[in-house]
Amino acid sequence: MIGGMVLLLHAVGLPVLYVSVDRTVQRSQQDMFVNHARAYSKMLTELIESGLTASDDSRIVALLDTLALQGEVVDATISSGERSWHSDLLPHVATRASSRDDYAFGTNEDDAYYVSTQLTLRNSPATLRIGFDERPTREGIERTRTAVLAALGIYAFFVMALGWFLSRFLARPLRELQASSRRVAMGDLAHNLDTTSRIREFRGLANDLETMRRELVGLNRNLENQIAERAVLESRIRQKQRLETVGTLAGGVAHELNNVLVPIRLYSDMALDSIHEDHPARDELVQLQAAVGRAGEIVSRVLVFSSRLEGQGLQPLDIAPAVEEGIRLFAALRPASIDISSSIASPTRRVLADHTLVVQVVLNLCTNSYHAMRDKGGALQVTLREVVDPADGAIGGDPGTVIQLTVSDTGHGMDPDTKDRMFEPYFTTRPVGEGTGLGLSLVHGIVTAMNGTITVESEPGRGTHVTILLPAIDAIPTKGH
């Protein structure tokens, strides 16, 4: 833009400048020539009037020949009446001159400028007519014109070089820097700014802008991570609130059912005690009690999910033996198509838990993994270890120390909708008659009752990874204490 403007202005201005300079020089040299000719003629007129008083024609001709020797005179004639004297050294060309005494420079065909001066010769009026050679002056004008053209050509070349330089090293880098800055301002933070400019100031500015871009990239990445973390946290909070709501409802229903089951069991016991062994209704009462017992187990599971058993029966526990027992119980029932492995590290701290409930958690998780792999087989891995609290003490207990239990499988995995509902009671993806939908909800209730957290990572076709974190409380006592 800058170089183009410079070239455009000079493309218009240089011809105008040349015409103006040419006319000024030409007019100046012409004026100098004319003034010189007129002054010279006036000086000769004064000399002739003072020195040519005699009637000697030879002296008049000698004077004219002297003028011819000056080199710039091409014609010299003195006329008085009908007589005229002309230099013998010059061709007589005055007859071809204009009839006027003075005329414009460069208009006569004999390349001469004539000046006529009146004088008195022998007490008679006379005219001195001198023709001055115009060619040296015209040649001088041409030389000056050529010099002006050369100077303007050099200047034009310099201007073009300057315009190219401005465009190449100033305007274009500035446009590129402006375009790059605009792209970054429009949100294209992946666009790298060119910091290799040859101009130090541009290079410094580009480096500053590139530093700002990188800082914006970092801030944007941090913001995206915070948004993603917040979205995950909000999703977990919503899931927890939904499960708490369902748990509260299930707990209320379980207590109401339990209130109904208690008198049924009581009256059935009283009925059995009041009839003989061979009474026909005795078998029906026994079946009734069995059904009441099964219903009681279901109510207990629902109460565990609803965290109504929180703090009941929990005590400091070394969790490793309970996990190993759960793995052994499942391994005894697993089909040959399931490859099970475990990595049980002996923790140095205990958790507040119940041995039976931990065994039930391991069994339920392994069973759920088995159902995800029973069609094609797969691998199941159980890991127990002591780790640093990834939530920085947010789980509870001793900040920075938690017991981590993971159960991973290579099954068919879960889609996001299924994963969101997997802990809801009575929600199951198994066919009718193969599951009650209480297994994972029971796991969630037990973990919650033990002040722990449970997270699930799963994608369709890529298996499932369940992680349970339980807060560590105190050190495991050594044997003999």
SS3 114: strand
pLDDT per residue as tens digits for the range 311-336: 556 788 888 998 998 888 888 777 77
Best CA proximity match to 103, nearest among 117, 92, 113 = 113
* Of 193 and 352, more confident: 352
Strands 112-121 and 315-317: unpaired
The CB density around residue 463, as the number of other CB atoms within 10 Å, is: 21
Average pLDDT for residues 39-44, to the nearest whole number?
82
| Best-predicted range by mean pLDDT (125-129, 192-196, 202-206) | 125-129
Residues forming a β-bridge with 144: none
- CA dihedral for 241, 243, 246, 251, sign (positive or negative): negative
Q: Which two tokens stand for residue 454?
A: 């449970």
CA distance linking residue 254 with residue 460, whole number of Å:
34
Q: Is the distance from CB of 399 to CB of 393 less than 8 angstroms?
A: yes
CA distance linking residue 54 with residue 62, whole number of Å:
13
The H helix count followed by the E strand count for the chain is 10, 11
Contacts of 18 (CB under 8 A, 6+ apart): 148, 149, 152
pLDDT per residue as tens digits for the range 79-135: 887 788 887 777 665 544 444 455 567 666 667 888 888 887 767 788 888 888 888
CA separation (Å) from 158 to 12, 154, 199, 341, 466? 16, 6, 21, 84, 77
Residue 16 has pLDDT above 90, yes or no: no
| Best-predicted range by mean pLDDT (36-40, 190-194, 231-235, 475-479) | 36-40
Q: Is the distance from CB of 88 to CB of 61 less than 8 angstroms?
A: yes
pLDDT per residue as tens digits for the range 250-265: 666 666 676 677 777 7
pLDDT of residue 168: 66
Q: Which two tokens stand for residue 65?
A: 């020949």
Best CA proximity match to 260, nearest among 318, 299, 212 = 299
pLDDT of residue 328: 87
CA distance linking residue 137 with residue 148, whole number of Å:
16
Average pLDDT for residues 436-461, to the nearest whole number?
81
Nearest 5°: phi and psi at 230?
-65, -40
Q: Which two tokens stand for residue 365?
A: 């998780």
* Of 95 and 395, more confident: 395
The CATH code of the domain at 2-153 is: 3.30.450
Look over the chain and give the mean of its residue pLDDT values, rounded to a whole number. 75
pLDDT of residue 382: 92
pLDDT of residue 98: 44
Superfamily of domain 312-475, CATH level 4: Histidine kinase-like ATPase, C-terminal domain (3.30.565.10)
Q: What is the DSSP string of 194-254?
A: P---SSHHHHHHHHHHHHHHHHHHHHHHHHHHHHHHHHHHHHHHHHHHHHHHHHHHHHHHH
pTM (2 d.p.):
0.43
CA separation (Å) from 299 to 265, 291, 295, 449? 14, 12, 6, 16
Average pLDDT for residues 18-27, to the nearest whole number?
77
Q: Give the relative orientation of helices 319-333 and 355-373 as an angle to the nearest 10 degrees.
A: 40
| Best-predicted range by mean pLDDT (17-26, 65-74, 138-147) | 138-147
pLDDT of residue 96: 47
Q: Which two tokens stand for residue 57?
A: 């024609």
CA distance linking residue 330 with residue 339, whole number of Å:
12
Contacts of 35 (CB under 8 A, 6+ apart): none
Kindly indicate the confidence band of residue 193, based on its pLDDT and cuts at 50, 70 and 90. low
pLDDT of residue 267: 72
Average pLDDT for residues 218-241, to the nearest whole number?
77
Residue 397 has pLDDT above 50, yes or no: no
CA distance linking residue 369 with residue 376, whole number of Å:
12
Residues forming a β-bridge with 12: none
Contacts of 465 (CB under 8 A, 6+ apart): 406, 407, 408, 456, 457, 458
Best CA proximity match to 111, nearest among 129, 138, 141 = 138
pLDDT per residue as tens digits for the range 277-305: 788 887 888 888 788 777 776 666 666 55
pLDDT of residue 434: 54
pLDDT of residue 156: 78
Domain ranges, ordered by start, for the chain: 2-153, 312-475
Q: Which helix (H) or strand (E) holds 67?
A: helix 57-68
pLDDT of residue 468: 92
Nearest 5°: phi and psi at 393?
85, 5
Q: Is the distance from CB of 77 to CB of 92 less than 8 angstroms?
A: yes
Kindly indicate the confidence band of residue 29, based on its pLDDT and cuts at 50, 70 and 90. confident
pLDDT of residue 406: 93
